[in-house]
Amino acid sequence: MEDLWCVALGVFQLWLFVVVFFITLPAMFGLSLGVTGLYIQILVKILEWATLRIQRGRQEQPSVPVPLPNGIIERAGGSMAEEMGRPGCGRFAPSDALYFCKKGLESIADDQVTQRFSSEELASWNLLTRTNQNFCYISLRLTVIWVLGVLVRYCVLFPLRITLAAIGLSWLVIGTTVVGLLPESSVKNWLSELVHLTCYRICARGLSATIRYHNRENKPQKGGICVANHTTPIDVVILANDGCYAMVGQIHGGLMGVLQRSMVRSCPHVWFERSEMKDRHAVTSRLRAHVAAETKLPILIFPEGTCINNTSVMMFKKGSFEIGGTIYPVAIKYDPRFGDAFWNSGKYHMVSYLLRTMTSWAIVVNVWYLPPMTLQDGEDAAQFANRVKSAIARRGGLLDLAWDGGLKRGKVKDSFKEQQQKMYSSFILGQNGINNQ
157 within some domain: yes
Q: What is the DSSP string of 160-211?
A: HHHHHHHHHHHHHHHHHHHHHTSPSSHHHHHHHHHHHHHHHHHHHHHTTEEE
Residue 397 sits at the vertex; the CA angle it makes with 396 and 400, to the nearest 5 degrees, is: 95
Q: Is the Cβ–Cβ distance between 248 and 236 less than 8 Å?
A: no
Reported as a pLDDT band with limits 50, 70 and 90, residue 289 is confident
Reported as a pLDDT band with limits 50, 70 and 90, residue 432 is very low
- 168 burial class (0-12, 13-18, 19+ CB within 10 angstroms)? buried
Flag whether pLDDT at 437 surpasses 50. Answer: no
Task: Tell me the pLDDT tens digit for each residue of 331-379.
Answer: 999 998 898 888 887 778 888 888 888 999 999 999 999 999 998 888 8
151 within some domain: yes
Task: Tell me the pLDDT tens digit for each residue of 65-78.
Answer: 555 444 555 555 56
36 within some domain: no
176 within some domain: yes
Which structural domain range is residue 145 located in?
134-408
pLDDT value at position 339? 86
* Residue 243, amino acid: G
78 within some domain: no
415 within some domain: no
SS3 385: helix
Q: How many CA atoms lie within 13 A of 196 on its CB side?
A: 30
31 within some domain: no
Flag whether pLDDT at 195 surpasses 60. Answer: yes
Q: What whole-number distance in Å separates Cα of residue 171 and Cα of residue 377?
A: 46
Flag whether pLDDT at 422 surpasses 70. Answer: yes
64 within some domain: no
Q: How many domains does the chain have?
A: 1
